[in-house]
Structures are given as C-alpha cells and as structure tokens.
Amino acid sequence: MSAHFAIDPLDFVRNTRALYGKIAVAKLVRLQNSLFNNQNELEYTIAGALDRDDRPIIQVTVKGIINLQCQRCLGELEYALNLLACLLVVRNEDELLHLDKDLSVEGVLAVPDVNILTLIEDEIILSLPISPRHQENECSTNKPTDDNSTNTKNFFAKLTTLKKLH
Ligand SMILES: [Zn+2]
C-alpha cells in the first residue's frame, strides 16, 4: 500500500489539511463482490476540521457512479454515489467502541497512518442498498421461460446430431 494513501487524522485537523483525488473502483477490494463491473473512477476528498463542539473530525466525500448488479434481472445497474461523512477522531479503541453504540456517529482512530482507501471503502459499503434493483419497468426482460426451454431442446438436438456423427 502506497504511503500516499495514509494520513494522520490529528495532523489533518491541526493544519486543516485536505486531500483530493480519484480512485479506480477496481482498487476497492471489499466492494468487488457487489459490483457488475469495476470500470469507473470515483472522486474523493478527505479534510480535517473541527465540528460545532470543537471536536476534531475528518470529512470524507465520495462522488461518482458505480455499476451494481440488479437483483431482479441480474443486469447492470448504475448507482450514483454522493456521500458526505464526518468521522470523529478518537484517541483509542475504547472511545471507538463507545461511539459504535451511537449509530449516527462514526469514528476514526487517531493513529498516524490511517488508510484513506479503507475510509472511502467503508463509507461506500455503508451506503449501498442491501438489494439493488432497477425500477419496476426498467429491468431487462430478455429471459422468458419459453426461450429457455427452446434453447435446451436445441442443445439436446445438437448433442444427438453430434452423437450420430461418431
Ligand atoms: Zn433489473
């Protein structure tokens, strides 16, 4: 993993640093099982800031299109991402566990080498629909059962022909 993708959250907050970039969907390993294909690129920003209560936070934004698989027709389903997440910077695992009880707040550990790909991937995975589907009338309806049985018959017919040849 390149050092380019590691940040120190407290340093980002202290110096109000920000990072912009593009990431190939193909690099987000944990996401691959949910995808129809991984050709796209996403834009991201990572920025250090203070929230209204002067607590250190890391803001993550992710924008772009990913191609999911429709669970009804198994076709390609374009899904637009436009995410904004504020992660509270916490000092240790205990604080992180404490945060986990409050589902509306996410946290990130104040260690000097937080992998931003992991942060980005986490946000995307959290945002994905459990069962992505096209609108009712947008599914590709190219598999009526009659066709399938005809294909099967043709297949066996060909098989029989092949057998006769031998
Ligand atoms: Zn569909």
pLDDT at 151 over 60: no
Q: Which protein residues have their CB within 5 A of the ion that is ligand 1?
A: 70, 72-73, 75, 134, 139
Tokens of 10: 């407290």
Domain positions in the chain = 3-141
Do residues 23 and 44 make contact, with C-beta atoms less than 8 angstroms apart? yes
CA atoms within 13 Å, Cβ hemisphere of 148: 5
Tens digits of per-residue pLDDT, 59-79?
999 999 999 999 999 999 999
pTM of the prediction?
Answer: 0.78
Q: Which helix (H) or strand (E) holds 37?
A: strand 35-37
Q: How far is the CA of 132 from the centre of ligand 1 (A)?
A: 9
Q: Which residue has the higher pLDDT, 93 or 142?
A: 93
Q: How far is the CA of 151 from the centre of ligand 1 (A)?
A: 22
Query: How do 18-24 and 41-50 pair as beta strands?
Result: antiparallel
Tokens of 5: 């993708």
Mean of the pLDDT values across residues 29-55? 95
Tens digits of per-residue pLDDT, 131-141?
999 998 899 86
pLDDT of residue 99: 80
Q: How far is the CA of 164 from the centre of ligand 1 (A)?
A: 41
Q: How far is the CA of 81 from the centre of ligand 1 (A)?
A: 19
Per-residue confidence at 146, pLDDT binned at 50, 70, 90? very low
Q: Which residue has the higher pLDDT, 114 or 104?
A: 114
